[in-house]
Amino acid sequence: MLIKTIPVGHIGTNCYIVTDENTLECAIIDPGDEANTILDYIESNSLNPRAVFLTHGHFDHVTAMPKVREETGAADVRPLSRAIASLDILPVPSHMRKGRYVGAHLHLNAAYVLVCEPEQPLHHKPDENTGIRWFDTRTVRSPEFWESDAILYAKLIRFAKEAPYAHG
């Protein structure tokens, strides 16, 4: 068995290609970004991918942009900056998800600020984002937002105002 590590994405998350050296069948683990780099390695080594595994869905393990586009309907979403805007441990209260109870837990959250034109229409996905909408950033301290969300949003807004802008 051969294990190839390919650092991908803005923070160099490891994507692994696990290969059976006899059959050249492989599994791709956590293709976080740079699909062409991963596919070039597979092609240049004449590998036969049999499976793709995602260890979890955090930004650095799966490419965020297609998901953001799918979830919001916004077609032109891009990072404001290459820098992580906020790194937090966020409490998540117990809730129902897809008809199943999920107990209270913590999320390690690394946030990027994404931008798009506000004229882009958003769409609701009933099992994921029924509350998605544009809002005026000056309203984040209003009673409409939970205090913990307001603190995080204020931090992200401050970052966006001071961010070194992404190249390309």
pLDDT tens figures, 110-150:
777 777 777 777 776 666 666 777 778 888 888 888 888 88
pLDDT (tens digit per residue) in 61-95: 445 456 555 655 666 667 777 777 888 888 888 98
Please state, rounded to an integer, the average pLDDT across all residues of the chain: 76
Cα distances (Å, whole numbers) of residue 82 to 12, 58, 88: 12, 16, 17
> What does the pLDDT read at residue 21?
93
DSSP structure class, residue 137:
G
Task: Name the residue among 59, 111, 61, 57 with its Cα closest to residue 81.
Answer: 111
149 or 108: which leads in pLDDT: 149
9 or 157: which leads in pLDDT: 157
Residue 27 has pLDDT above 60, yes or no: yes
- What are the structure tokens assigned to 154, written together? 């204020």
Residue 9 has pLDDT above 60, yes or no: yes
Highest mean pLDDT out of 54-58, 98-102, 110-114:
98-102
24-43 mean pLDDT: 82
- Residues 134/122, Cβ–Cβ less than 8 Å: yes
CA separation for the pair 165, 67 (Å, rounded): 22
CA separation for the pair 46, 24 (Å, rounded): 7
Structure confidence at residue 19 as a pLDDT band (50, 70, 90): very high
DSSP string, 1-61: -EEEEEEETTTTEEEEEEE-TTT-EEEEE---S-HHHHHHHHHHTT-EEEEEE-S---TTT
26 - beta bridge partners? 19, 49
CA separation for the pair 29, 113 (Å, rounded): 26
Please report, to the nearest 10 degrees, the dihedral formed by the alpha carbons of residues 95, 84, 137, 132 taken in order. Answer: -40
Going along the chain from its start, the domains and CATH numbers come out as 2-53 (no CATH), 64-162 (3.90.79.10)
